[in-house]
Amino acid sequence: MMSTTAESVVDKRLEEKVALITGGASGIGESTARLFLKHGAKVLIADVQDELGQSLCKELGTPDIVTYIHCDVTCETDVQNAVDLAVSRGGGVELRAIASDGDSFKKVLDVNVVGGFLGAKHAARVMVPAQKGCILFTASVASLLCIGVPHAYTTSKNAIVGLAKSLSVELGGYGIRVNCISPHAVATPLLLNWFVTSDKRKVEEIILRNGVLKGTILEAEDIAG
C-alpha cells in the first residue's frame, strides 16, 4: 500500500507545470515528452517535423495537456511564439527579455566561432600534406569563469575551447598541434568600445579590481609572446 502511494506521488511530481520541449517530435525529445506527461505536466512539443509532431500529440493525449507548435529554433520569432504559448498554458508568469537580440548574438558567434573554424579548416588543408603545423586559437578566461561579460562572447569562447579539443583529436595524427590560450581582460580598443570610453587607464583600473591577483595589468604583447 505504501509503495502504491509513493508511486502515485512520483507520477504527479510535475503536476501544474508546463514543459516546452524543443525537438520533441522524435528521439530524446519525444521520450522526454512522454515522461513529463506521465508525471503530470502539460507539454508543448516544438519541432519542425510537423506531421510527426501532430501525430505524436494525438497519440499522447488531448490538446489541453499536449500540443504541437511549429518551431525552428534558429528563428527567434518561432522561439518567442513557442514560449508565449507555453506561458499561456501555465498562466501567471511575467515575461522578461534578455538584453540581447538574436542577430547580434549570431554575429558574435559567426566572427568568433565560424571564423575560427574556417581559419582552421583552410590552415589544415595546407598543414596536413606537410605533416606539421600549429593552430592556436584565442579563447578567454570567460570560458573558465563567470565574469559578467556578454552572453554571446562567453558562449563563443566556450565553443572555441571545444573546437580546439575536437580539432586536436582529428589533426594530431598528422603532426599538427591545436591549442588555445585563455587570457584575462586586456584594454584593447574592442574592450574600450564595450565600456564606451577612450580612457585606457580607467578600463585597466576596472580590470585590476576584478581578478588580477598579482597586480600586473595584462597587455596584448603578453599574449602575443
List the CATH number of the domain containing 123.
3.40.50.720
- Among candidate residues 31, 56, 90, the one where a domain is terminated: 90
Q: Answer yes or no: is 45 within a domain.
A: yes
Same-domain check for residues 193 and 171: yes
- Among candidate residues 30, 65, 90, the one where a domain is terminated: 90
pLDDT tens per residue, range 11-56:
678 888 888 998 999 998 898 999 899 999 999 999 999 999 999 9
Q: Answer yes or no: is 146 within a domain.
A: yes
153 is catalytic: yes
140 is catalytic: yes
Span 148-176, mean pLDDT? Answer: 92
What is the total count of domains within the chain? 2
Of 153, 168, 174, 200, the catalytic one is 153
Grid cell of 13 as nine digits: 511530481
- Among candidate residues 90, 116, 131, the one where a domain is terminated: 90
Of 68, 143, 156, 157, the catalytic one is 157
Same-domain check for residues 153 and 212: yes
Q: Answer yes or no: is 181 within a domain.
A: yes
Question: Which domain, by its residues, includes 19?
Answer: 2-90
Of 68, 140, 143, 156, the catalytic one is 140
157 is catalytic: yes
Same-domain check for residues 112 and 177: yes
Q: Determine which of 93-97, 189-193, 218-222 has the lowest per-residue pLDDT on average.
A: 93-97
Distance CA 155, CA 171 (A): 24
